[in-house]
Structure 1
Amino acid sequence: MSPTFLLTTLAVVATPGTGVLYTLAAGLSHGRRASLVAAFGCALGVLPHLAATLTGLAALLRTSTLAFEALKYLGAGYLLYLAWTALRATDAPAVDGGGPRPAARVITSAVLVNLLNPKLTVFFVAFLPQFVPAGAPDSLGTMGRLGAVFVALTFVVFAAYGVCAAAVRDRVLARPRVMAGIHRASAACFVGLSAWLAVS
């Protein structure tokens, strides 16, 4: 496997975006387990984009303006929902007062974060083929393996982000104003990402 592919993938995955932000929020609000579950969910959310690339659906998104715009605005709307959820959380200093958040709910939200991001599909269409030799007899298999590496690195990097956030959670929870500020900052970031997705 090309070192260039690994380095490029690592750079792309490590760049903070909606998935990283969601995983950090899960670690700060609900602890290490929730951050790992969120990282797993974000990694799962990459799989449909990979499948779309391998089956040619991504080409439809690129050629159909209506389909691409619909997915884009769904993603922007979901980010606004996450921003609203973060703002609501500022009203409750004890963010874990109701016990740990159900894993299924965390995974569902994490999957949606990446699933409703059409940029991932476009990225796969433009990125993966560059590392598949022209005329290779098993081009789909090669793309599938490279995609699996991307998914695995997504989980590892996001999990590292989440675990680091969970490690400082107790200190943050001891300062309700800091936690409230983090929720507001998260909401602002989600709104900004939503606006960027909508106009890009």
Structure 2
Amino acid sequence: MSIEFLLTSLIVVVSPGTGVLYTLATGLSRGTRASIVAAFGCTLGIVPHIAAAITGLAAVLHTSALAFEILRYLGVAYLLWMAWRTLKEHGALTVDENLAPISASRTIVRGILLNVLNPKLSIFFFAFLPQFVSPTDPAVLSRMLTLSAVFMLMTFAVFVVYGAFAASMRRMVVSNPGVLVWMRRTFAGAFAALGAQLAFSARP
């Protein structure tokens, strides 16, 4: 496994996106344990995209305008819904020490949906993974599966760090209503901006 793959993967993983945003919001609102669950859900959301890239389904998505547009606008709708829920204090960033806990399964499903409903991830892996696999390698499938597993482990680890950092700031947020309002608006705006970016992005 090349250092180039590890460095490139790290850059991609630490870059702010929907998964990072969701994990940060969960850490702030629910604490460290919930942020780890959110990180796990976001990591699971990568699996369908990796599977699509390995099996070649991403090529269909890349060539089919209809398939791409359907998945893209489902993703846009979900991001805007997350923005609305966050802004209205019932979504990803509801900080209250007496707040009823959200089940781990629900947190995981939200994380999965955020990544599954992003068609660019399939195309990213379709273009990314082959760069580090030799076409003459007799075990291409095994090699791609190994690289994918490493990418997922790196994603989970980095997201856990993001979530732990956010959770460490939770006490300050809970005790300061002004900070809470600012954070809620910031996260809602970020979800909306990501949705807009996905809506107006052209097919590769």
TM bucket, shorter chain = over 0.9
Q: State how 1:5-24 maps to structure 2 within 5 Å.
A: 5-24=5-24
Alignment correspondent of 1:47: 47
Distance in 2 (CA, whole Å) between partners of 1:176 and 1:9 is 37
Task: Tell me: CA distance 1:172–1:130, structure 2 relative to 1, closer, same or farther (3 Å).
Answer: same
Matched, 1:114 2:115: yes
For the 8 Å contact 1:90–1:184, the answer to whether it is kept is no
Compute the displacement of 1:180 (Å). 1.4
After TM superposition, the score normalised by the length of structure 2 is 0.94
Give distance in 2, aligned partners of 1:174 and 1:25.
16
Structure-1 residue corresponding to 2:132: 131
Q: Does 1:62 align with 2:51?
A: no
User: Which residue does the alignment assign to 2:89?
Assistant: 89
Deviation at 1:99, TM superposition (A): 2.5
TM-score using structure 1 length:
0.96
How far apart, in 2, do the equivalents of 1:134 and 1:9 lie?
21
- Sequence identity of aligned pairs in percent? 54
Q: Which runs of 5+ in 2 are unaligned?
A: none
CA distance in structure 1 between the partners assigned to 2:90 and 2:177 by the alignment: 9
User: 1 CA distance for matches of 2:2 and 2:194?
Assistant: 31
User: By how many angstroms is 1:138 displaced?
Assistant: 1.1
Q: CA deviation at 1:140?
A: 1.3
Structure 2 partner of 1:77: 77
Determine if contact 2:29/2:94 at 8 Å carries over to the other structure: no
Shift of 1:135: 2.0
Deviation at 1:197, TM superposition (A): 0.3
Structure 1, gaps ≥5 residues long: none
Mapped partners of 1:107, 1:90: distance in 2:
17
| Count of residues paired in the alignment | 200
Out of 53-62 and 3-12, give the one that drifted further. 53-62
- The CA RMSD measured in Å over matched residues stands at 1.5
Q: Structure 2: which amino acid aligns with 1:38?
A: A
Partner residue in 2 for 1:156: 157
